[in-house]
Structure 1
Amino acid sequence: MRFLVTGTAGFIGYHLAQRLLDAGHFVTGFDGMTAYYDVRLKEARHALLARSNGFKAIIGQLEDMAALEKAAEVAQPEVIVHLAAQAGVRHSIEQPRSFADSNLTGSFNMLEIARAVKPAHLLMASTSSVYGANEIMPFQEADRTDHPLTFYAATKKAMEAMSHSYAHLFGVPTTCFRFFTVYGPWGRPDMALFKFVDAISKEQPIDVYGEGRLQRDFTYVSDLVEGIVRLIDARPAIGSPVAAEGVSDTLSPVAPWRVVNVGGGEPVGLLPFIETIERCLGKPAIRNMLPMQPGDVPATWADHRLLEALTGYRPRTSVEEGVRAFVDWYVDYTKAA
């Protein structure tokens, strides 16, 4: 099949594109190569994808409609997976305009592309951050998401709403999936695992926010990609909700649209997570205990029953396995750098 995947030089986009290429599909990747973090890491990901004859890269910003139209013309996509975004919960407090440009204007442009191309399925990346201040866990897709704590979360909630309106008006089957703290090899340097491993390796202190009481539903990147790949064939259709006991389907009554959690369903405390890193590195962390940061939530926890009902799959990689895989990659990557 022919895919247009945005964000292929990014962490998740790289892994998804590689999985699709390995399966024999054709992937046109679109990425802005922004300098939010070290561009050399993004270039290295794209270089690996470029080893496949099935991969073509288009460099451009989501705000540049002409560049997106070029990518769509090259790809002739049967499926579009929109992963590119300005990420970083705390960065959205400092630089909100970049989130408006990328996540609002950029997502609108992608919806216009889908309107013109009419792919068999449009899949768009959202986030567990949309659950905001919700206290009842695990988070179910049908829970209200009216209290985002950061502008990043607000832009993703807006993207979900915009995509529903387009699915209703123009009939493009659309699935929004909410990620839960994705980690693994080729991860982003601004994320906790990369920062912790890097600092501990160099015997530098790590900042432990919330006095270590935070919990996160860590999701290994290969599990996430497996969920996305399986959701490709789970196209939403009006009037065809999931019929599974205990599952609340989010299928819209007026559009071929739904939202799905992709998370492991097993929250892990921040301190046990750090202890896992220490075991994998064979080094102790120097911990700088700090209060909660603005925009942080105490815990995340995915209800994965809808994903399992739709695809027969749920993430299963343990944090111990996932952290060890990341540490092995980090050691190799920093040696080669």
Structure 2
Amino acid sequence: MSQRVAPRSVAAMHSFVTTILRSHGAPPTTADPVARHMLWADRRGTETHGLVRLPAYVERVRRGTLDPTARPHVEARHGAVTTVDANHGFGHAAADYAMNHALERSRSDGVGVTTVRRSGHFGAAGAYAAMAATQGAVGIAMTNAAPLMAPTGGRERRVGNNPIAVAVPFSEFPIVLDIAMSAVAAGRVMLAARRGESIPDSWGADRRGRPTTDPHEVLAGGGLLRPVADHKGYGLALVVDLLTSVLGGGAPGIDVKRLDQDGPVDASHTCIALDVSAFGDPTGFADRIEALAATMRATPLADGAERVLLPGEREAEVARRRDEHGIDYPDDIFAALERLAADVACPLPPPAEMVSDGVER
């Protein structure tokens, strides 16, 4: 099992990531949103979508399959709809740009929809949906991804695990549902393979479509992630591909690349913002959310359960702790960051409890 290192402050890690990205050619306007959205995942404990990916992004920059200088640009506008070309740059920056455009349109039209094509891997979909929720709007974000699942009944990779996230403003924290259409995110299988751990056989299948506990059979062996709820997960993944690449004119999921493959990732995203006030009195909306949340939390508990949580509640609690005390990264993730730091002579920040002169607080 992986151990954890002493916590590093979120602000210090943000500075570290931006320094790494800028040393590889990214301008500040790109480095900042990339760092911010990766750390959004790490702050919330979703470490499969945070800085664990940074070495792979840097390697892609070095190989020329990710352009750190690329800036997303608007190709077309029609009413509340905007089409963006990411120019094979960082997906985080492109999706940030897209959701900001969707929010801008929603303020005048009640709804804003932005599609993005020719983009890179964008990390956690919830980060972009939450951008809207923190501004009082409902946010929806989704992306297609490299094929890792088979259609129900098949045994060959034809569809990605294509995540979708919905975020709703709430008085305590944004309610965020962020789900991939596989039983688990591919990153969890990757971490298990890296750590030499087995996985539940409900997570993946081998190349013949048979359940397996070996993460290498799922990843390097040409195997499959298993869709959540079988045909339902497959169907939802296909719908996300329809609403991203097909709707936005990007590459279909079958042509999207994994981070460890050659060529641009070529992902497509869709970001949607709904202005709450366009649907009625915002105060009434807020009151109804409070009432619904209270109803969920008042549910009688099943045997062994401690409480009923709202979507994103546990992650919000983790984020509050990590914002205060720092992020205690698993040692294997931290070791990869140390190697990355050594390559550009940019040391990682000291533990959060240490001041700059090395004296413990």
Scaled to the shorter chain, the TM-score interval is: under 0.3
TM-score, structure 2 normalization: 0.26
Question: Highest CA radius of gyration, 1 or 2?
Answer: 2
Q: With CA pairs under 8 Å and 6+ residues apart, which has the higher RCO, 1 or 2?
A: 2
